[in-house]
Amino acid sequence: MIKRIKEIYAYRTMIYSLVKRDLKGRYKGSVLGFLWTFINPLFQLLIYTFVFSIVLHSDVKDYYMFLFVALIPWIFFSTSLAGGSTCITSQKNMVQKIYFPREVLPISFVTSQFVNMLLSFIVIFAVMLIARYTFNPLALLCLIPVMLTEYILALGFTFILSAVTVYFQDMQFIMGILTMAWQFLSPIMYSQERVPVEFRAIYMYVNPMAPIIIAYRDILYYGRVPELATLLSALLMGILLFVIGWITFDKMQKHFVEEM
Amino acid sequence: MKPENAIEVHNITKKFKVYLDKGHTLKERTLFSKRRKFENREVLKGISFEVKKGEAIGLIGHNGCGKSTTLKMLTKIMYPDSGTIEMNGRVSSLIELGAGFHPDMSGRENIYINASIFGLTKKEIEERIDSIIEFSELEDFIDNPVRTYSSGMYMRLAFAVAINVDADILLIDEILAVGDVAFQAKCFNRLRQIKSEGTTIVIVSHSLSQLELICDRSIWIHEGVIKEEGAPFDVHPKYMSFMANNTLSKAKDKQDKKKEESKKEEKKAVEEKPEEAKTEEAAENTEETKKPEDSNRWGSNEIVMNSVTVTDEKGVERDTFLNTEPIYINIGYDNPGKIDNSVVGVAIYRDDKVHIYGTNTLIDMSKTLPLKDKGTITLILDRIPVNAGNYIFDLAFHKPDGFNYDFWRDVFRLRINNVKGEAGAISIEHSWKSE
């Protein structure tokens, strides 16, 4: 395993250039170019504000912000899963012909989604500043471990899904449906307090995304340090899935080329 | 692993599941699980070989014999079912060119992407980027997006990256046909240079002449086992004559099969398709038993050389010449196939198998020679400017595309003697001047 990590480290330039290619290449040729990275979340935010503040009145104060701070991390997670499941099969040519540690592909895909999320956070911070939200420095510091936890979790899932998709192409479509259901089963559009008490334990500890979303909202919307229990359970689940994901991936990758 | 070896392959085997009808989706996998028949095809049945450091070897064999699979396992794209592969040093493969190229990005940016896929770090790429750009001859276009490149420019850039990835072991699969003739020659020279710097090279190619130019050894893989191994000069003729016989007997078998089929159809009006696999197997068995008549000679026999004589200008047959004398090679031929588009070629080797010279009528006159049903062609060599030694001559009648009517290796040998005691491989016209 140590040897494997060393090898992936040796291919760090490949990860870097694939991420760069993805980010730079995505909007190449369009007039606004890289600005689209900011325009997308900004318009999303405007639409939510219109719908939830003017059309559908919600009891929650600043519901658009309540939703937005959870939605941006969720979009990172769900695109990592839905799009990441094809990150091996879509690079068929490369995988069949060139040797490189296969982990590079899921890692660069998730990393490029992650960078995208970080850029969207600029929009969040800008809106927070304009709407005169209080910035709690200690809480903001907690954002780093929360983001890293989500990154590890997303990577773990993408490892499994991308490997399974090679053997079983339906996985990518199944994931499209599954992430939609998952979104409604996570405290994104509503607060976890709305979940009946008898289900809350299952709700919180079966879904690894629940504590992560709650932590984001605590930090950004409420401006408070998340509970340690929330952080720890998120971290544990993240590490667990990452390890399982990597081991699964490593087992399956030996026969990628034959199965494609 | 022995210290002098770069690669050791021990008894590797590989089976593939060949799905007759592969189901990839859930519906196909569950509902039609019985329909998903597959057969295990043994591609490699135990191959072992060693490659010494700095050695260049070629893997040859017909399509599907397992040579590309072997190379893929050396690259670690695939893993053997049993057996081991040991490699010593950094491995780089020239199997796919231009991997990861993004059409909208500049040539320079794509060099970074492509080279990083070969495992180079940013620092290593920066060290090489100038020589990559220089080699690609694209200095003026390097900051334009790759989509504006012609396909030739694209391949040149891709090859320039690949060939500049320094490695201890270089694996190459059939990619030397890149760009125009001048660029091909450049690639080839670079490959030679890499070899002379001590890099171990393994090449899979159908171009035997290319292999002969660069490889020290050829390994002929046939149906998953090594059939023959040795100097390209010795192995290739055997391979060629085997292949020629193969095609002939296959064609004959097909005719036989057709006859049989028509007979069967006469007897039974309604019958399912014959099991092709079985008949093919039978065909292959007959091939195995047939021995090539002369392993130095192969072709379709539509034109046959029946007599070859070597004379001096007076018409006296000789086998020893001075390196200043003209040599007349008279080739008598029969042309039962009434072929009128044959190229006539000659190749000269020194007896230690160094390729000295080769030419043909297509190169010399950019046309084929008019042939009669029977006749003689005379090739006049004004002199052979080599130094003393024994020289081997190959002659061939072939199509412009390389298909052989009659290829004859080692038709005759000549002893060439020096007039003076010059040293070296060739004799250069020269004069001295003193002021």
Residue B90 with chain A: CB contacts under 8 Å: none
Where does residue B263 rank: exposed (0-12), middle (13-18), buried (19+ CB within 10 A)?
Answer: exposed
Question: How crowded is the C-beta side of B354, counted as CA atoms within 13 Å?
Answer: 8
Split at pLDDT 50, 70, 90, the class of A105 is very high
Q: Do B290 and B350 sit in the same domain of this protein?
A: no
- Element holding B11 (H helix, E strand): strand B5-19
Does residue B384 form part of some domain?
yes
More confident residue, B96 or B153: B153
Does residue B199 form part of some domain?
no
* B100–A28 CB contact, under 8 Å: no
Q: Do B309 and B287 sit in the same domain of this protein?
A: no
Q: Do B396 and B308 sit in the same domain of this protein?
A: yes
pLDDT given at position A163: 93
Which residue of A lies nearest to B18 if distances are taken between CA atoms? Answer: A258
Residue finishing a domain among B247, B280, B296: B296
Q: Do B323 and B388 sit in the same domain of this protein?
A: yes
More confident residue, B267 or A30: A30
pLDDT given at position A225: 86
Q: Do B272 and B335 sit in the same domain of this protein?
A: no
Q: Do the Cβ atoms of B334 and B376 come closer than 8 Å?
A: no
Most confident of A103-112, A224-233, B301-310: A103-112
* A25–B105 CB contact, under 8 Å: yes
Interface contact B402, partner A, CB < 8 A: no
A248 to chain B, closest Cα gap in Å = 17
Split at pLDDT 50, 70, 90, the class of A146 is very high
Task: Identify which of A13, A14, A99 has the shortest CB distance to residue B77.
Answer: A99
Interface mutation vs chain B, best among A4, A6, A12, A13, most B CBs within 10 Å: A13
* B25–A170 CB contact, under 8 Å: yes
Cα distance between residue B226 and residue B44, in whole Å: 10
pLDDT given at position A91: 87
Task: Identify which of A10, A12, A257 has the shortest CB distance to residue B78.
Answer: A257
Interface contact B76, partner A, CB < 8 A: yes
Q: Do B286 and B319 sit in the same domain of this protein?
A: no
Residue A28 with chain B: CB contacts under 8 Å: 102, 104-105
Interface contact B113, partner A, CB < 8 A: yes
pLDDT given at position A156: 94
* A99–B75 CB contact, under 8 Å: yes
Task: Identify which of B17, B91, B120 has the shortest CB distance to residue A13.
Answer: B120
Q: What is the pLDDT of residues B252-307, one digit of tens each?
A: 666 666 666 666 555 554 444 444 444 444 444 443 333 345 678 888 888 889 88
Cα distance between residue A95 and residue A253, in whole Å: 10
* A169–B24 CB contact, under 8 Å: yes
Task: Identify which of A13, A95, A169 has the shortest CB distance to residue B25.
Answer: A169
Interface contact A140, partner B, CB < 8 A: no
Does residue B332 form part of some domain?
yes
| DSSP H helices in chain A | 2-10, 12-26, 36-49, 63-84, 92-97, 104-130, 137-167, 171-184, 197-206, 209-220, 228-252, 256-259
Interface contact B360, partner A, CB < 8 A: no
Interface contact B11, partner A, CB < 8 A: no
CATH number for B391: 2.70.50.60
Interface contact B101, partner A, CB < 8 A: no
pLDDT given at position B258: 62
Interval A39-61 mean pLDDT: 80
Residue finishing a domain among B296, B319, B336: B296
Q: Residue B17 forms beta bridges with which residues? A: B40
Task: Identify which of B26, B75, B112 has the shortest CB distance to residue A17.
Answer: B112
pLDDT given at position B57: 92
pLDDT given at position A38: 81
Does residue B423 form part of some domain?
no
Does residue B64 form part of some domain?
no
Number of domains in chain B: 2
Interval A100-123 mean pLDDT: 92
Q: Do B350 and B282 sit in the same domain of this protein?
A: no
A64, two tokens: 């658009």
* A100–B119 CB contact, under 8 Å: yes
Residue corresponding to tokens 């010399």? B364
Q: Do B339 and B375 sit in the same domain of this protein?
A: yes
Which range marks the domain in which residue B261 is found? Answer: 238-296
Q: Do B355 and B383 sit in the same domain of this protein?
A: yes
Q: What is the pLDDT of residues B86-145, one digit of tens each?
A: 888 888 887 777 777 888 888 898 898 888 888 888 898 999 999 999 988 888 889 998
Interface mutation vs chain A, best among B117, B118, B124, B171, most A CBs within 10 Å: B117
What was the ipTM of the complex prediction?
A: 0.77
Compute the count of residue pairs across chains A and B with CB atoms less than 8 Å apart.
82
Q: What is the pLDDT of residues B186-202, one digit of tens each?
A: 888 888 888 888 899 99
Q: Do B333 and B391 sit in the same domain of this protein?
A: yes
Does residue B79 form part of some domain?
no
Residue A29 with chain B: CB contacts under 8 Å: 104
pLDDT given at position B277: 42
Which CB contacts under 8 angstroms, 24+ apart, belong to B136-144? B136/B107, B136/B160, B137/B183, B138/B107, B141/B107, B142/B106, B142/B107, B142/B108, B143/B106, B143/B107, B143/B108, B144/B106, B144/B107
Does residue B346 form part of some domain?
yes
Q: Do B318 and B396 sit in the same domain of this protein?
A: yes
pLDDT given at position B270: 46
Q: In 3D, which of A126, A133, A150 has the Cα closest to residue A224?
A: A133
Q: What is the pLDDT of residues B345-399, one digit of tens each?
A: 999 998 888 888 988 888 888 777 788 888 899 999 998 888 888 899 999 998 8
* A13–B25 CB contact, under 8 Å: no
* A29–B104 CB contact, under 8 Å: yes
Does residue B403 form part of some domain?
yes
Q: Do B311 and B260 sit in the same domain of this protein?
A: no
